[in-house]
Structure 1
């Protein structure tokens, strides 16, 4: 965190006032270094990890110059995944609370296209989306970029890794040449350097170290003989260290699902997250893990990128990451905000080729630790404290979080302390309740009314 105040910037008074209301006082390093140039209209390359405050850096820049009276698409933000796009759009809406009649629209794959077409017909100021779905709308002439003044590429390295190069080129070809381009990337490989050379004009390059301090993370590496031993080792380590919230990283989608299934068979509270899942299932998985209804999330690097999940108790690398940057990004899920964290990694003799680059990149010497002796008969998997209810009503039904809280607490059989995170989507909502109160909560929703209507609900 820098000591520079937002009030030192040439930002509209309404934005400054809203930042004060949000409790955003001092800028993060990426904001302090990038925002003056962004506000001056310069192209910027920002190398910063998730959680560095980069969304507010480009968000404040584009909101400061937005002409809300001109109802055309003035900004396009491209993200690698729907989860990140939703997260970015939510942050932009929060930053834009003081700007009346602003419309921010998300355009992502994995959801029905019909409602997006309807929304586009009504116009928007800011589009946040994934490259594939954005180019789909552009090709059908449902979206036009003639009035675009700012193009933002968020987590550009991941977009290239996921094979979006052609879609990116197609989108850029339809954008005006006279525009401001902002590129943010956790890493800066050759492919990003080449992309930057083509897209940006005389950019300012800002590099910010990771916001969390990896010295607060206790790292250990364990050598195992084969994949069967790998799974047994993971089980033992989870029993010893898992806590209420842990992430297990795998390198392939198939492996992710297999490991999650195996852990479920051992009695763990576990969910899988990977690219072969339906979007609806991915949404439910993220909701349940983020609100404490599941203790373990097994994920691939691509699926876990940019997730809005606060610090976890421990990270387990079922297989070593392919490079030091990815390893650092994985373990950065723990040990945040001054808390201590645990990162435990498994490897076999076949992984020898990965160890030296990891040692060089991390600046550490990797020595194999001895696996803990765990009595499987006496140590039991942790159980989640919360459970999740899904309600068949959401933003399109004008339901607000307060309406759900009211329905659950009106009888005074439940209090606010029995409730956790509430997440509203277009046609459904999710509410976390204490596991001990889930049956009562379900009964209260099913027997009561929200906004004068009966709402169906079920426990996930």
Structure 2
């Protein structure tokens, strides 16, 4: 195995990373660092989250920086504020002994005036989210004319979030003769388009197989009836007493409901979703990073860029429709050389998804039975006993109190004391599971399994709009889909750009030429009326309650509704 010295890393950086606990380079670092130090122009690196990517590009970027030339030399783009701050913090740590190097995180939700002042004083490396960087460029407060290296980190997530046009715009401000490094966990077609457009004969480095899940993560699923999913979640959490995990939910509403239920049931949990302000999100993330929360309940959008190394478990409260999202979810655990577990709570209709995800990540799921109450209690008790064995006793602080305590308890035998300690800690848990009914596992029909593995039943329900919306929500049809370049983020953005007031959007199902999305029932009429008579360039936009229409005939340009309105509301749909 190579050492950092053998990779060509300068002594100042070696000293800093040694103090940070780096011993040997991880595989992605062994592959990428020499290439960047050798000035390879363009590199595509496919590697899972938590494999040491930041050090792979951060170390050579710091080493190649000319600190005497006080202008932006490297630009690192990433999808979220949280990841932006994480990368900037890591680069600052790696460069502790590199004199005069200036690193600036640029992101929304923070004072732009402060960022402008820092830019005017001069920086060498900018770590940015696309939106805020474009704002600064248009204000003419940042110049990218001297940037020689650009990094796109978590490129697939940026595209999923609808940043394609922003990336195009930012790249137009960079010199033609610059190197580009693209990091991605998966390799969708949109990434391939970027590489063809902006890279010259890029060198591809793959750690593991393309789109493959992290090797250090186990994949488990539990099958239950839909009504029992929350009860199953509680049992799973109780079965792993030291869990420090993220529970992924589909919608903001579901996320908040699950977090509230967990809190009511005595768990250290909180929610992270798009309805929270930036200050609220920062507060929740601060609690989670400091281990004051045991469970973070989050939507996929809110958790993007979340970078916490010691997450033990990921729990999928249902599987995502986009299977690459599963790869991102499971990549939040098993990081930095540690092992992790990705758990999915599914019902029979989702069994086919398991098979498809297994093919994508090249790994098999383990099917488990929901833990029985007596097994959970036993595991919790032994975990408690283990903590008692390992607790650090502060003799000096408690010495003066011990004589009084011994006198108070001297009438009790050792066995009685132990029983009382255990009962004090676990009476409530034991009583709950004594009274709780065991969760019944649904029976799988072989015919249904075959149909679901081919995706027939689920797809038909989605394509004809017959899926029942979440309680309190209405399901709407819109005649744009994947072939139009739509993704969930762009669709949500388009709706909120045109409908007055904030629209909480629930489940989104994207089809080839049309889509369905769920909104609160009380807003459905307002949204339908807003888009009535609107055109996307020369095409009539149709938004309507899904159950009112029928599936468009294959091969024909037929959409829901017959009233084509007037063309005065013509506009462009920007993705």
| Structure 1 residue 271 displacement after superposition | 1.1
Aligned CA distance change for structure 1 residues 28 and 367 (closer, same or farther; 3 Å):
closer
| Structure 1 residue 380 displacement after superposition | 13
- Whether contact under 8 Å (1:273, 1:298) holds in the other structure is yes
After TM superposition, the structure 1 = structure 2 runs for residues 30-429 of structure 1, keeping only pairs within 5 Å, are 30-42=28-40, 43-209=42-208, 217-226=217-226, 228-335=227-334, 341-363=340-362, 369-374=368-373
Q: TM-score, normalised by structure 2?
A: 0.61
3-state DSSP of counterpart to 1:45: strand
The match for 1:6 is 4
The match for 2:466 is none
Aligned CA distance change for structure 1 residues 229 and 24 (closer, same or farther; 3 Å):
closer
The match for 1:431 is none
Per-residue CA deviations over 1:127-178 (Å, capped at 9, x if unaligned) read 1110000011011111111111111111000000011111111111111111
Per-residue CA deviations over 1:27-74 (Å, capped at 9, x if unaligned) read 211111112211121211111112211111111221122110111111
The match for 1:432 is none
| Structure 1 residue 79 displacement after superposition | 0.6
Aligned residues: 381
3-state DSSP of counterpart to 1:99: coil
- For 1:352 and 1:330, locate their aligned partners in 2 and report how far apart those are by CA, in whole Å: 18
- For 1:365 and 1:56, locate their aligned partners in 2 and report how far apart those are by CA, in whole Å: 30
- For 2:249 and 2:49, locate their aligned partners in 1 and report how far apart those are by CA, in whole Å: 19
- Whether contact under 8 Å (2:312, 2:341) holds in the other structure is yes
Aligned CA distance change for structure 1 residues 377 and 242 (closer, same or farther; 3 Å):
closer
Per-residue CA deviations over 1:370-408 (Å, capped at 9, x if unaligned) read 3233389989999xxxxxxxxxxxxxxxxxxxxxxxxxx
Structure 1's unaligned 5+ residue stretches are: 383-411, 414-460
- For 1:260 and 1:381, locate their aligned partners in 2 and report how far apart those are by CA, in whole Å: 22
Per-residue CA deviations over 1:312-360 (Å, capped at 9, x if unaligned) read 3332210113355433443344455676544321112332442331232
3-state DSSP of counterpart to 1:321: coil
- Whether contact under 8 Å (1:256, 1:298) holds in the other structure is yes
| Structure 1 residue 218 displacement after superposition | 5.0
- For 1:214 and 1:57, locate their aligned partners in 2 and report how far apart those are by CA, in whole Å: 17
- Name the larger-Rg structure: 2
- Whether contact under 8 Å (2:49, 2:335) holds in the other structure is no
Per-residue CA deviations over 1:249-308 (Å, capped at 9, x if unaligned) read 112333222211222222221011123321211111112112111111111233323323
3-state DSSP of counterpart to 1:187: coil
The match for 1:426 is none
| Structure 1 residue 11 displacement after superposition | 3.8
The match for 2:484 is none
- Whether contact under 8 Å (2:61, 2:74) holds in the other structure is yes
Aligned CA distance change for structure 1 residues 202 and 337 (closer, same or farther; 3 Å):
closer
- For 1:107 and 1:51, locate their aligned partners in 2 and report how far apart those are by CA, in whole Å: 23
- For 1:314 and 1:370, locate their aligned partners in 2 and report how far apart those are by CA, in whole Å: 17
- Whether contact under 8 Å (1:267, 1:381) holds in the other structure is no
3-state DSSP of counterpart to 2:315: strand
Higher alpha-carbon deviation: 125-134 or 107-116: 107-116
- For 2:192 and 2:304, locate their aligned partners in 1 and report how far apart those are by CA, in whole Å: 21
- For 1:146 and 1:112, locate their aligned partners in 2 and report how far apart those are by CA, in whole Å: 24
- For 2:91 and 2:336, locate their aligned partners in 1 and report how far apart those are by CA, in whole Å: 23
- For 2:242 and 2:314, locate their aligned partners in 1 and report how far apart those are by CA, in whole Å: 11
Aligned CA distance change for structure 1 residues 342 and 367 (closer, same or farther; 3 Å):
closer
Aligned CA distance change for structure 1 residues 220 and 28 (closer, same or farther; 3 Å):
closer
Q: TM-score, normalised by structure 1?
A: 0.75
- For 2:35 and 2:127, locate their aligned partners in 1 and report how far apart those are by CA, in whole Å: 22
- Whether contact under 8 Å (2:307, 2:332) holds in the other structure is no
Structure 2's unaligned 5+ residue stretches are: 382-395, 398-575
The match for 1:433 is none
- Whether contact under 8 Å (2:259, 2:297) holds in the other structure is yes
- For 2:316 and 2:253, locate their aligned partners in 1 and report how far apart those are by CA, in whole Å: 16
Aligned CA distance change for structure 1 residues 194 and 283 (closer, same or farther; 3 Å):
same
